Amino acid sequence: MTVQSNNLFWPELHWPYFFIFDPEGGVTWDTPDGLFVDKRSDMYHPGTYYPKKMPQQPATAYLCALADNHGQPLDAQKTYRLHVPKDFATWAFIYNPLDRVGLSTYDVPNMKTNVDGSVDIYFGPKAPAGLESNWIPTQGKRAMPVMRFYGGTEAFWNRSSKLPDPEIVQ
């Protein structure tokens, strides 16, 4: 089964844009047909305030990985690598007993980086040997990585800079 979404940030990858706004850039729950409590709840779960209208390029953007690089749903029993290009600021939210709720650009000095300055983040039930500092434990639960981008660059918004899909490593 491949994961499909009609809200992909990059059409050839599997990163849907986390929030879905109406054509005017707003979020409406009260309509002539009813009050959409579930939709309101879904939007307020990851945040607490949304303006009546979002700008074309909001100050913060959220993308979530629902599938691997083959379009398959993320599997709780597998470990994945997410290659983060050096120009992407990151923050991932996965809770675990190590109290490591994510990795961000503040963690890079303690992580193993690639020669070009990029970082590989691993998430899954087991850390790859020697890469524990780059690993987010998932305790055997299915992960849904969320990437938060503050002040996206022009390369982000014109989609010329891309975040690869997660890849299975174990």
Contact in structure between 67 and 14 (CB atoms under 8 Å):
yes
Do residue 45 and residue 79 come from a single domain? no
Q: What is the pLDDT of residue 110?
A: 93
Do residue 108 and residue 153 come from a single domain? yes
Q: Taking the chain (170 residues) in consecutive chunks of 10 residues, what is each chunk's mean pLDDT?
A: 70 79 63 55 51 64 83 89 70 64 87 94 92 89 80 87 90
Q: In total, how many domains does the chain have?
A: 2
Domain that holds residue 112: 58-168
Do residue 41 and residue 71 come from a single domain? no
Q: Within a domain: residue 44?
A: yes
Do residue 68 and residue 44 come from a single domain? no
Do residue 46 and residue 65 come from a single domain? no
Q: What is the pLDDT of residue 87?
A: 67
Q: Within a domain: residue 92?
A: yes
CATH code of 89's domain: 2.60.120.600
Q: What is the pLDDT of residue 114?
A: 94
pTM for this model (two decimals) = 0.69
Q: What is the pLDDT of residue 98?
A: 75
